[in-house]
Amino acid sequence: MSSEDATPDLYADPLRFGQRVQILRERRGMTQVQLADLVGISPHTLRKIENGQQKAPRLDMVMRIAEALRVRDLADLTGHPEAHVDLFIGPGHPRLAAVKAAVDSFPITGAVEPPPVAHLEARLHAAWQARHASKNHREAIGRLLPDLIRDGQALVRHADRADERRAAQALLAQTYSLSQFFIAYQPDSSLLWRVAERGMVAAQESEDPHTIGVSSWLLAQAHRDSGPRHYDAADAVSREAAAYLRPLLPDANADVLAIAGALEFELGYTAARRRETGVAWRYWDQANDMAKRLPGDYYHPVTSFSRAVMGAHAVTVAVELHQGGESVRQAARADRSVIKSRPRRARHRIEEARGYQLDNQPDVAIATLEKAFEAAPETIRYNGYARAILLEEVESTQAPRRRRAAELAGKVGILAA
């Protein structure tokens, strides 16, 4: 390939904003029509931006483009080193290195003595409870994960009978599922993929329907959050898992019903990302029907799927469809239910804030992000959408709004020093 054909280096060349948009868009495999639809402008307008016929847009549009292109660092898009802000990757957690070392370690000698199955089950149950109850859930589970991973791997290695091995694989898959919640949105995407794929393999080896459903749900999320080119893969995983569970549902327990419902919603989530309005709401309806079959006070231990969470899911669908008014209406309805899990409650508040921002209610959006911070500071710290809203509002021309956004941004720690 000649030097003229090479993709320009974003740092070596003094590129215009529009050129940077084009390069990042093409790296994502997106067409101008697709990107324009995602950010809410016409393809003609986007073409003018990329060609330099229109000056760089306002910060709110820059943030929407950054969101659509899943830009990790705002400087990549703006070309200004002083704009060095990580958007969709949070700060690496202090316990990330220890978790990574445990994931990557495969002892051959079998020196680690496995714990009794009941002991590992109890520790995993306690870890999931800590994850849902803690404001700083990554810290809570990050200190537990290295030993859980090592013991889960040891349990599989030392299993003698087929039934023992299946049970051990189910616990190892559950440990990898917990790990994925810790690793998500941290600066090591390859580690996330290793964990998601190993969790799926362990789940299949376990032959346990619930375990397979959970690992499929998480693998679908890993695909979906990798960008539009991976939406088809996300849907394929969700559909296959849903089809596998469907014959079991008439006699299924609540956990299996719930993970089947969570998979239905995942299909709706991806449809909403594609702006497929009818398809997205149809899957939401199907997930809601599944939720109605669950006891009123039931919460799925991994996904939080329940009757109460369906209102939050409706907000997410409306936000992903960029329906600001509908997002606000759904948020009002959703607030009638209480989400027990702190990180899930914080995530819901962030989705609500996105809806208020779409509906041109930035002050309410900031107030809602403050509620998210109160529920679970680590959730907002690692969430790109929350970071984007705050970074936009710290540039507001309204002084009170600017101060409030800057104060919260300082607490969250998202502004580069």
CATH of the domain at 33: 1.10.260.40
Q: Is 65 left (phi over 0), alpha (psi -120 to 50) or beta?
A: alpha
Q: Is residue 113 part of a domain?
A: no
Q: What is the pLDDT of residue 2?
A: 37
Domain count, the chain: 2
Q: Is residue 193 part of a domain?
A: no
Q: Is residue 212 part of a domain?
A: no
**Boundary (domain end) residue, out of 44, 68, 83:** 83
Q: Is residue 397 part of a domain?
A: yes
**Boundary (domain end) residue, out of 56, 83, 110:** 83
As given in the structure block, the two tokens for residue 232 are 């088809």
**Boundary (domain end) residue, out of 64, 83, 102:** 83
Q: List, for the chain, all residue ranges whose pLDDT scores fall below the cut of 50.
A: 1-14, 416-417
Could you give phi then psi for residue 191, rounded to 5 degrees? -65, -40
Q: Is residue 124 part of a domain?
A: no
The whole-angstrom separation of Cα 346 and Cα 373 is 7
> Which residue range forms the structural domain that includes residue 34?
17-83
Q: Is residue 227 part of a domain?
A: no
Q: Is residue 74 part of a domain?
A: yes
Q: What is the pLDDT of residue 83?
A: 53
- Of 185, 198, 17, the C-alpha closest to 102 is 198
Q: What is the pLDDT of residue 67?
A: 74
Question: Taking each helix axis from N to C terminus, what angle separates 43-51 and 17-27, rounded to the nearest 10 degrees?
Answer: 120
Q: Is residue 23 part of a domain?
A: yes
